[in-house]
Structure 1
């Protein structure tokens, strides 16, 4: 939620938010690159697009956990992992 507040609080914080977003996406892209090296992901996969999607899923899950007591951390993690796994398997199947 800090990122949402920072992004909407005013233009002064936007550069820090953008920098944080870039760092997160780069971290995810690095993990995806390892998956390509290991043969677990299509070498032609669009890593920047996948990283944007995965970061979005992670943040969405965090919001669900923060605002809905009926969502458990395990259920949220399993749902996010299943969604990402399905997307990555689809990417590998197209190879």
Structure 2
């Protein structure tokens, strides 16, 4: 609680806390980027799996295409497309 209060109010210790946080976080940038990319890839693969599972429902004979499935399919494709375009793999 005291740490949060030091960050919220600009006191004499505020600058010292900011400098300490800056030094503590140095060198952790690549780890954060890799974690974010891995999370996005996991969500992207989940969306792709959902798209494939909905499309597999439609391949059966005599299957009536549900309007809800159409909306879900469009939503999953949109999410996968947006995430796929935004992922930049770290070098």
The alignment's TM-score, normalised by the length of structure 2, stands at 0.36
